Amino acid sequence: MSFVRTTPPRPVDVAAVFPELAPLARAAIRLHPRAGSPSVFESSVGGPLLWPADEPWPHCDGSHPGSGMSRSPVEVRLERRRRARLHRDPHGPQYTPEEEAIKERNDAVSMERLDTGLPWSAESPVPMLPVAQLYLRDIPLLRPPGQADLLQVLWCPYDHEPDYKPSTALFWRSAAAVVDILATPPEPYEADYDGYVPEPCSLAPEQITEYPNSLDLSAEVRQVLGDWSRWQAADVGVDSSYAAYPAEFYDCELADAPGWKVGGWPPWGRTDPYRRFCAVCDAQMVPLLTIASFEWDGGTCGWAPYEDQAPAFAAGQNPAQPTAVEVGSADNLQLYVCPASPEHPHTDLIQ
């Protein structure tokens, strides 16, 4: 990895103030995706995958009704780069010759579909898009099966009922076993939403310690956490404006980190805790990967890495949304796996 990101120390050593939380500490690895040009041999978000040339590319067989207003991944990426260029140079051309050529090729494909009378629905099955590639050497919290040392995550860039989220696919493999690499993976004709087309990002993994969201705590521990006198007695300098709701300070600043991460605790809030159980062995599933719409927001800006606090909006891009991914209503899509066997079917949940 060619760059680093450093999470500031938490403003309070919460396990020292509340020893009841100490046994609940969990390791997590913040991925810190940032715009880059990763290769197939690197961990990435939205980057190319180390995919065997002789292995079929995953497709989604679900229903994909189209609106006729969606854009292809190529068009989505083109428009992002065009806007970034115009942010840097507001007086530049609306389209460069290269951008115009790409736009014309895509317009020609759209017109061909209209001329042939094809319905406004995606081809089926739909090629899936790369979401993340994680090497064990970079993300030691991964628990791959057998000799695997690489996790690859893809999704279909369409909402799927009943939860209206992208359908996801996980693949574990041994990187050394991939000899001939697929050079040009297929892409879907269109993406339901621009936010389902990840921007290529390199990673700066950082291991941290997390504690459960207050919704994950027992009623007894929540009561202790909400006792303002305990915070006062600890003399840890928590702003008195939190006196009426100290649990909010805990959730925003001390519990689980926002953003893309492996492991750790679930970021509840959109829903109450919703336990997931393995369809094969009925074991309670554990968080594998959090796919986040934002690295931080107004309520969790204390988690912004030191290195991202000085730059504001560079090249027209939000530093808190480097992947350009957005799921749900600016929510998280969390993938869960079976702790007994990562080869058992995974599940996911928007929260």
Is the confidence at residue 311, as pLDDT, over 80? no
Please determine, for residue 120, whether its predicted confidence score (pLDDT) is greater than 60. Answer: no
Residues 253 and 323 reside in one and the same domain: yes
Residues 78, 1, single domain; the answer is: no
- Please enumerate in sequence order all residues whose Cβ is within 8 A of that of 286, keeping only pairs 6 or more positions apart, or say none: 263, 336, 337, 339
**Are 179 and 53 in a shared domain?**
yes
Q: What is the mean pLDDT of residues 157-185?
A: 94
Q: Name the domain boundary from 194, 228, 243.
A: 194
- 116 & 126 share domain: no
Sign of CA dihedral 132, 138, 142, 148: positive
Residue 199, domain member (yes or no): no
pLDDT of residue 28: 98
Residue 132 CB coordination number (10 Å): 28
Does some domain include residue 232? yes
116 pLDDT exceeds 80? no
Least confident piece of the model among 6-20, 32-46, 239-253? 239-253
Range of the domain at 17: 1-32+204-350
The pLDDT mean for the chain works out to: 89
The verdict on residue 283 lying in a domain is yes
Q: Is 139 exposed, middle or buried (0-12, 13-18, 19+ CB in 10 A)?
A: buried
The answer to whether residue 116 sits within a structural domain is yes
E strand map for 1-65: 26-30, 34-35, 44-45, 59-60
pLDDT band at 236 (very low <50, low <70, confident <90, very high): confident
Residue 52 φ then ψ, to 5°:
-65, 135
- Nearest-angstrom CA–CA distance, 32 and 24: 24
As for how many domains the chain has, the answer is 3
Q: Are residues 104 and 221 in the same domain?
A: no
